[in-house]
A = this chain, B = another copy of it.
Amino acid sequence: MADKSRLSLNQITTANWSVAQAVEGCARHGVPSIALWRHKIEEASLAACVRAVQDADLHVSSVCRGGMFPAATVEERRKNLEDNFRAVDEAAALHADSLVMVVGGCAGLPIEDARQMVADGVAALAPYAREHGVRIGLEPLHPMFAADRSVLVTIDQALQLAQSYDARDVGVILDTFHIWWDPRVEEEIAQSAGRIFGFHVSDWLVPLPDVLLGRGLMGDGVIDNRKLRRLVEQAGYDGPIEVEIFNRALWDAEPGAVLAQVVERFEQFV
């Protein structure tokens, strides 16, 4: 059974809560860590978020998200990079374990070009992140997001990109929703040893209600989150475990009740 001391609420799971509400919810439910989303940070102001997590003695497991590097024009790519620098600033101010990268898709571009733009973007960002003490977490997304969200789709591919950098600076974020299907997942997790910067759990519902908003609570689908958690631990990761669920029905429910369920399912299924 996963220890509750490792639970982190990824804020998107309770999307209707502000940062202040989510922080208060974590304190009330004994959840020691939180992952913050940038649109929520912007709503509340960075300074207010920094104070809120400090006052509640909450650990910030990640800031979501940087990335989205591929774009058709130099100008757009420069703008994206600027935005990534601001994401690093936010992750630094919040002392987040890492800045999560959803690297961007390939719609409108040959996929090889999009992949090169991702490599170039990480290369341009890495020195700035390092200077500011922020670790870059490359998150491979499920292949069904290759067109619109992430041309990075396997752990192997993320590791290959990360390995151009110091293992303290660039690593991978392993999310069970994105990696569970992979016939090589055990081997790939083992190979990630020393570079695992974050671990996320949720579940894959059958049938899948929606590509983006159809993730389930642990225990409601086919993913063996416990097995994957153990593999990640065997590879040396003992940090926070984020529960990150994009689900329309959960978003429409009362966030406090959702968080109570998250805690229960975490203890039961992770």
Residues on A facing B (Cβ under 8 Å): 105-107, 110-111, 115, 142-144, 146-148, 153-154, 156-157, 180-183, 204, 206-208, 211, 221-222, 224
Contacts and interface: CB of A to CB of B under 8 A. Distances in A.
A154 B183 contact: yes
Contacts of A143: 142-144, 181-182
A229 to B, nearest CB: 15
Given A107-B206, A142-B144, 16 more contacts: A107-B222, A111-B180, A111-B181, A111-B224, A143-B144, A143-B182, A144-B144, A144-B181, A144-B208, A146-B180, A147-B181, A147-B206, A148-B206, A153-B182, A156-B183, A157-B183
8 contacts: A106-B222, A111-B181, A111-B224, A142-B144, A147-B208, A153-B183, A154-B183, A208-B211
How many chain copies does the complex carry?
2
Contacts of A208: 144, 147, 211
A222 to B, nearest CB: 5
Contacts of A224: 110-111
